[in-house]
Structure 1
Amino acid sequence: MPSGPVIGSLGELLVEFVCEQKDGRNLVPAAYRGPFPSGAPGIFIDQAARCGARAVFAGAVGTDAFGTVIFDRLVGDGVSASLIRRVAGVPTGSAHVSYNSDGSRDFVFNMAHSAAAHFPKGDEAVRGFLSAGCQVLHVSGSALGDPAMRAAVFDVCTALHGAGVSLSIDPNIRTELVSDAGYLQTVRALIALSDYVLPSDADAALLWPDTTFADWSASLSARHIALKRGDKGAVLKSGGTITGLPAARVTVIDPTGAGDCFCGTVVTLLAAGMAAPDALARGVAAGALAVSALGPMEGNATLSTIEAALAGA
């Protein structure tokens, strides 16, 4: 059993299918690769477990084959099954992604009307996380697009925050999932409560337009603030000190999940007491490993693999 910090997360679990043809935008017949285990918070918690966290996830999958793909991956990598439901009668959530030549991606999600929306909520989730000794609860903005899912996630977060659990948020803003103004309002409210805030460049441009990292990070009360910059690397502000690192030079096979791997690594290692520059270096290395494999969770790496990558850099 891992001896690291107890890290929790909740939200959508999906299988993902990746289009083999670029620029189709999911609009033309094409071959897809999959099913790959996915869902941003699921990728995060799998990476946290691989980095030594005692990982707990509140989520749901169907009793179909796709649900088995996800369940077996998470549990096999060390995530507790105590709050993962198998729900009969509804399909496991899914995402189809099509990449474009300019680097952009088009997603089609089946989330709110799938098993993904049936994750443990309210007192059940709060009790489950507290009984597991949860120290940090991580939320991805991808779980906040549907109003009902958003309300459930926010209720669990505020209850655990009130019980002394640290919150972590990756805004992970997906325009495909923004259904009403409450989406960004909830993202901002969770940022205000969080000890770990980990936006991407695109998130930051939307949340704090025309503002430098130094300025917008100074407006937050979070203890640790990381800015994910893709192929430009990452920046971490911790204890008032800002550290930046360039990205590793790698051949990008599939960028989906790289930010979640970065977050899972950095949050776990910071919660374990690792110095911020060292945690940042391992987060950047984890992101580089993640983009080197096809499939959003296929590039997730153990801490020993990350250390080996750093040693060979």
Structure 2
Amino acid sequence: MSGVIGSLGELLVEFVCTEKDSRHKRASTYKGPYPSGAPAIFIDQAARMGASTIFVGAVGDDAFGTVLRDRLVSVGVSQGMIRTVPGIPTGSAFVAYNSDGSRDFVFNMAHSAAARFAPAPEAIEGLLKAGVSVFHISGSSLGNPAMAAAALEVCVALHAKDVAISFDPNIRVELMEDSTYIDTVRRILAMASYALPSIEDTDLLFPGERFEDYAPRLQAAGARYVVLKKGAKGCQGIGPAGAMEMLDAHAVEVVDPTGAGDCFCATFVALITSGRFGFREALERANAAGALAVGKVGPMEGNSSLDEVEAFLETLV
């Protein structure tokens, strides 16, 4: 299977605090602006893997919007459905790291251009016209009620047209302002051909259950692949006919973990849908891309090409 991979959601610039344990509560030095937004990280990486890509999003008519457009243009992501919204700032995020490995985020999404992408009917029409065969959604786009409603409408319509849905629940407690958030996550997960949760996601969605318990249920509901991202413990997946794979994580220095999960998802989806890689091969390369992603400061700065992933894997032989 091959075709165009599409995504929709927030386009943000990110600023990274250079001091640990600040929690954004004292004057500190920040590095940025880095292009960011979970679905944007995904589409950037999918393009780097050689996929044809298109993105539905919005930026402000400001320097930060230029940062985002320039990055996506540089890797070949189609700009046809990225709006520029006059008079509204580009979305932003601030992240601070703590000694225990946790992160504190401050987001400016609701009052920025991030949520002002094309209305759902226009997005659906544009994505179908572009020939989208896979459509990816990140749960980070569902914390804002307007964005969540649009994302769900697009997923339902594309799913009905046999477009495969790729879904990373990416549940973020700090974005759960709307009481319908988890319900929307569950509804999209039920449509997903590629279900790509993290351990943190499954602890909330399937408390107390093992992968071997809930993954077959997701497959019975229509998922082709269910892949669990386990961070420092690697990944685990189930494919067609119940084929199970498990990989250890690579031992690398973690400089900045933001975006590694999005990078993993994009690599897996782009390669498995290309038809050139088997299940385990795609997982191995996704696992490697995730390891490369954590080696640089900035959520997109560690994104890699297929040649870079292959070179990394060769060093392990």
Q: Structure 1 length normalisation: TM-score?
A: 0.98
For residue 21 of structure 1, give the secondary structure of its aligned residue in structure 2: coil
Q: How do 1:179-218 and structure 2 match up within 5 A?
A: 179-218=177-216
How many residue pairs get aligned? The number is 311
Which residue in 2 is equivalent to 1:299?
A: 302
Distance in 2 between the 1:270 and 1:120 partners? 29
Identity %: 57
Q: How do 1:1-313 and structure 2 match up within 5 A?
A: 5-220=3-218, 221=221, 222-239=223-240, 240-273=242-275, 274-313=277-316
For residue 132 of structure 2, give the secondary structure of its aligned residue in structure 1: coil
Whether the aligned pair in 1 keeps the contact of 2:41 and 2:300 (CA below 8 Å) is yes
Distance in 1 between the 2:112 and 2:53 partners? 24
Whether the aligned pair in 1 keeps the contact of 2:289 and 2:309 (CA below 8 Å) is yes
What do residues 38-84 of structure 1 show as CA deviations (whole Å, max 9, x unaligned)? 00000000000000110110001111000000010001111000111
Distance in 2 between the 1:137 and 1:42 partners? 13
Distance in 1 between the 2:249 and 2:92 partners? 30
Whether the aligned pair in 2 keeps the contact of 1:4 and 1:54 (CA below 8 Å) is no
Whether the aligned pair in 2 keeps the contact of 1:45 and 1:55 (CA below 8 Å) is yes
Deviation at 1:181, TM superposition (A): 2.1
What do residues 160-215 of structure 1 show as CA deviations (whole Å, max 9, x unaligned)? 11111010100000111001221000000000011000010100101000000010
Whether the aligned pair in 1 keeps the contact of 2:288 and 2:313 (CA below 8 Å) is yes
Q: Which amino acid aligns with 1:154?
A: L
Q: Structure 2 length normalisation: TM-score?
A: 0.97
Distance in 2 between the 1:86 and 1:18 partners? 25
Distance in 2 between the 1:291 and 1:175 partners? 22
Gaps of 5+ in 1: none
Gaps of 5+ in 2: none
CA RMSD of aligned residues (A): 1.0
Deviation at 1:4, TM superposition (A): 5.4
Ranges of 4+ aligned residues in structure 1 off by more than 6 Å: none
Distance in 1 between the 2:117 and 2:304 partners? 26
For residue 29 of structure 1, give the secondary structure of its aligned residue in structure 2: coil
Whether the aligned pair in 1 keeps the contact of 2:3 and 2:131 (CA below 8 Å) is no
